[in-house]
Amino acid sequence: MNTFLIALLLVQSSLLLPPRAAVENPATVSQIPPKLQKDYNKLWLRFVTGKADTQLAKDLDNLIKKQKDFDPALTLEGYLELYRGNDAAASQKFQQALTANSRNSIALYYLAELAYTHRDYVHANTFYSMLLAMDGKRTDIAPKREKAMLLATEDLLRSAARAEGENRLSEAEEFYKQALAMAPKEPVVHMRLADLLARENKLDEAAAERKAADDLAPRRRATASARGNAEPKADDLEDLGRWGSEIGMLREIRNTQYVTREQVAAIIVRYFPQISERRQNPQIVTDIDSSWARAEIRTVIAAGLLDVLPNHTFEPAASVTRGEFAATLGRLVRVLSLSPPKALPDSTPDVAPTNPVYADVQLVLGYALMSLRDSGEFDVSENVSGGEAVRSADRLLQLFQQAPH
């Protein structure tokens, strides 16, 4: 049994399924032989009505015995296992259907969804990418593939570092190479792989990886060497996992004096991609189509973390005040269901209990997500810097990872 199926067996499903009548009929993506059309139609109708599933499963098995590799029947069996809550069996059936018909987009979709649900982001990225290769207009798939790619890269880098630390060098090498397949232009990964190859005495390959790193970021390497710190930090690898090929955007955000609303949206989604899986409340927004973070903006709006203005605009480039940022962090804390902070927050002479953001300010101070100014005030109307916003997100992520789930 492969590792994907083992993971499915170990984790309970949380895949949300539509009513049976709303799922796509496998006949729309697979050809039904004329001699089987009538029998198949009856089986499909029985599945939709949801009656006598046990007998339906037996009849599907019998049909497959007669017509080997009949992928519509295999897909139907995958549906049955999904509605039974048996994700491992469903995945196996969908994989068989995909083997029988490499163009079976239904099987691909559910393999991707199951992998993502069970945090197997590497497989999820692969399946979503295959779907997009079939149909590049699938706007529902592109954001999922991007999130899966980021999370998969992070998982691979952590696995590589762990394997390297345990002296499993060949495994670590494979993990780094898989990460580079997803983010080929990241010098930090090339450098880590180069160092590993040198440990394995693969000197020519190590030199090639170092050259690739130098070609991609010569100034960065020179600066690091001047500081006596050419080795990338673990945080660099985690950042790469979150941002992938858009890692430059993180660096731009960190260096900005005033973080914008679109940048805050991007930070939230990159650090907490699971919010996109929560119940959504889509709203009309008229001014985000040209924003580089429009997908993230839609996600945070739908999750209730940032508000649309009364005129249905979001103002992506508008700067964010400390009060607004505290309110967003407060909402995110509640979405993540963290326990109340143990430490009592500092007093805030400039934020009275009647202030609309008072409770959020108390919350973020209690968690040490933000701090008071040297003056002892919170300064709700002052702007937040990019560095402050990233540090707050990083601190909240640490708290969330340490909390019991």
Residue 62, domain CATH:
1.25.40.10
* Phi, psi angles (nearest 5°) of residue 319: -75, 160
The verdict on 301 and 392 lying in the same domain is: yes
- Considering the domain architecture, whether residues 206 and 234 belong to the same structural domain is answered as yes
16 shares its domain with 77? yes
pLDDT at 98 over 90: yes
Residue finishing a domain among 245, 270, 292: 245
Tens-place pLDDT, residues 253-301:
998 999 999 999 999 999 998 887 766 667 788 999 999 999 899 999 9
User: In 29-70, which residue ranges form alpha helices assigned H by DSSP?
Assistant: 34-49, 53-66
Say yes or no: 262 and 393 in one domain. yes
Whether residue 15 is found in the same domain as residue 116: yes
Strands (E), 297-387: none
Q: For residue 9, name the pLDDT band (cuts at 50, 70, 90).
A: very low
Residue 221 has pLDDT above 70, yes or no: no
11, pLDDT greater than 60: no
Domain containing residue 266: 256-402
Q: Tell me the C-alpha distance between 208 and 197, whole Å.
A: 10
Q: What are the C-alpha distances in Å from 50 to residues 44, 106, 343? A: 10, 19, 53
142 domain-assigned: no
Q: Specify the DSSP element, H or E, that contains 116.
A: helix 105-117
Residue with tokens 């660099």: 236
Compute the radius of gyration of the chain from its Cα atoms. 25
Residues contacting residue 196 through CB under 8 Å, at least 6 positions apart: 160, 164, 169, 172, 173, 176
In a domain, 72, yes or no: yes
Please identify, among 89, 110, 134, the residue that sits at the C-terminal boundary of a domain.
Answer: 134
Q: Between residues 9 and 187, which one has the greater pLDDT? A: 187
Q: Are residues 225 and 270 in the same domain?
A: no
Mark whether 224 and 268 lie in a shared domain.
no
Q: Tell me, what's the pLDDT at 279? A: 62
Is residue 250 predicted with pLDDT exceeding 50?
yes
Is pLDDT at 66 greater than 60 in this prediction?
yes
Is 352 part of a structural domain of the chain? Answer: yes
**Domain assignment present for 223:** yes
Average pLDDT over residues 5-32: 73
In a 13 Å sphere around the CA of 320, the CA atoms on its Cβ side amount to: 26
DSSP for 71-95 reads HHHHHHHHHHHHHHT-HHHHHHHHH
Looking at the structure, tell me whether residues 276 and 393 fall in a common domain.
yes
- Burial label for 303, CB within 10 Å (0-12, 13-18, 19+), is buried
% of the chain beyond a pLDDT of 90: 48
pLDDT of amino acid 149: 82
Domain co-membership, 349 together with 276: yes
Last residue in a domain, options 190, 210, 245: 245
- Assess whether 162 and 125 both reside in one domain: no
Domain assignment of residue 143, yes or no: no
Whether 2 shows a pLDDT value over 60: the answer reads no
Q: What percent of the chain has pLDDT over 70?
A: 88
* Residue 130 and residue 69 in one domain: yes
Question: DSSP code of 360?
Answer: H
Are 239 and 299 contained in the same domain?
no
201 vs 221: CA distance, rounded Å: 22
**Residue pLDDT, tens place only, 309-344:** 989 999 999 999 999 999 999 999 999 988 888 776
What is the pLDDT, as a whole number, of residue 3?
45
pLDDT the model gives residue 332: 95
Residues 6+ apart with CB under 8 A from 69: 99, 100
Identify the pLDDT of residue 240: 66
pLDDT for 173: 93
What is residue 222's predicted lDDT score, i.e. its pLDDT? 44
Q: Return the closest-CA partner of residue 50 out of 90, 22, 12, 13.
A: 22
User: What tens digit of pLDDT does each residue of 162-178 get?
Assistant: 888 888 999 999 999 99
CA 98, CA 126: separation in Å to the nearest integer?
13
Question: Nearest Cα to 205, choosing from 215, 194, 216, 192?
Answer: 194
Q: How far apart are CA 149 and CA 327, in angstroms?
A: 30
Residue 200 has pLDDT above 50, yes or no: yes
Q: What mean pLDDT is reported for the chain?
A: 85
Contact between 243 and 249 (Cβ < 8 Å): yes
Position 147 confidence tier, pLDDT thresholds 50, 70, 90 = confident
Count of domains observed in the chain: 3
The answer, yes or no, to whether residue 216 has pLDDT greater than 60, is: yes
Predicted TM-score (pTM) of this structure: 0.53
Quote the pLDDT of residue 112.
94
Interatomic CA distance for residues 395 and 74, integer angstroms: 46
More confident residue, 355 or 233: 355
pLDDT of residue 370: 92
For residues 394-398, average pLDDT: 90
pLDDT surpasses 50 at 124: yes
Q: Is 187 exposed, middle or buried (0-12, 13-18, 19+ CB in 10 A)?
A: buried
